[in-house]
A and B are shown apart, each in its own frame.
Chain A
């Protein structure tokens, strides 16, 4: 179906929307929490999908992974811009935030990353492997993926130096990868 969308087939695009919009809107809501913003995000995401469907084959992702990844990345971009705007107390675009404690407070306002983690179906494998990590390391991975936290955010949250945070997380990623490959 993505192949037909890439060819500019609007009917295929409509069918793709019907089949996947509830899933991608769910992803936007989980990342952005605010409904109005998630609605804007999901519109932008489908516009991106229409324009970029011809790039799908290049990544080697399964179709659903490709779509969810686009949705997640777009929602995270919006979330980071929103944070950056709030930190600077101004409107206008922002770069990826690097706001230490402010970001940290904001993240704490959002539902916990653990609460957002939904164990069902396919999620079992990653859930199982995250469960093999120490709880704070698994939380760090989830904060990065679902809340778009940077190393600076994570270092502030866990109250460790940035380099330590990175070493820590990279080691956790290797463990995770090893578990996922089993």
Chain B
């Protein structure tokens, strides 16, 4: 079903014009029709988008606290019973398995099923993550997103893809500079984990590498990874 054509200079410029917003309405429509059937053109647009985004990126400025409250109010304000976690299950089926347990807990705690007047999430302590990592297997069979707040040492991890086994453990490691891997603890079977990075390591997180290894239940008996390293990812600034 593809209407692929080899990419010409014309397309290269056109994709740039599209990303910069220089095409008129009719041209946009025609271009987007082609995008639907032409993966090479889509890649070209993605390349352009990646290339120009730094122009818009600069100093981070935290929005006022009311912004989040307004967003929550707009999206969830009238939903006393909350949005079911599986609302869009059809779309995210692949990761649902890993998330099912977390999802259930989430609905019970946050969904207001037990306490309809439970305060909104925004009143939970705010994490101000300044570092992040995507710890991923090469084939993306396991992907865990990590956010780290270097002021508090709190790291939150969420499994985005892949199942957490119950018969084995998944252990999180940090490799800072040339040091040997140091354990940060085990990942929760639910897929959502919070770990507290020891003070001595906090300052070394930027530029470090996070890794997840396969270990016996209870974690590595030796203090070093003993099983296969399943996924790795560099810690980068947000």
Contacts and interface: CB of A to CB of B under 8 A. Distances in A.
Interface of A: 1, 3-4, 6-12, 14-15, 17-23, 25-27, 29-31, 39, 42-43, 46-47, 50, 54, 59-62, 64-65, 68-69, 71-73, 76, 96, 116-118, 120-127, 141-142, 144-146, 148, 150-151, 169-171, 173-174, 176-177, 180
**A-side binding surface: helix, strand, loop or mixed?**
helix
A6 B192 CA distance: 16
Contact of B55 (A23, A60, A71, A123): A123
8 contacts: A7-B95, A8-B83, A17-B71, A50-B75, A59-B46, A145-B21, A150-B22, A173-B12
Chain B's interface size range is 35 or more
**B-side binding surface: helix, strand, loop or mixed?**
helix
A7 B91 contact: yes
The 6 tightest CB contacts between A and B, nearest first, are: A118-B58, A123-B54, A22-B60, A173-B16, A8-B87, A7-B92
A119 B46 CA distance: 21
B55 A142 contact: yes
Contact of B48 (A11, A42, A170, A177): A177
Interface string B24-68: 110000000000000000110111111111111111111110011
Interface of B: 9, 12-13, 16-17, 20-22, 24-25, 42-43, 45-64, 67-68, 70-71, 74-76, 82-89, 91-92, 95-96, 99, 103, 106, 110, 121-122, 124, 126-129, 132, 145, 147, 156, 158, 160-161, 192, 238
A25 B63 contact: yes
Contacts of A8: 83-88
B33 to A, nearest CB: 15
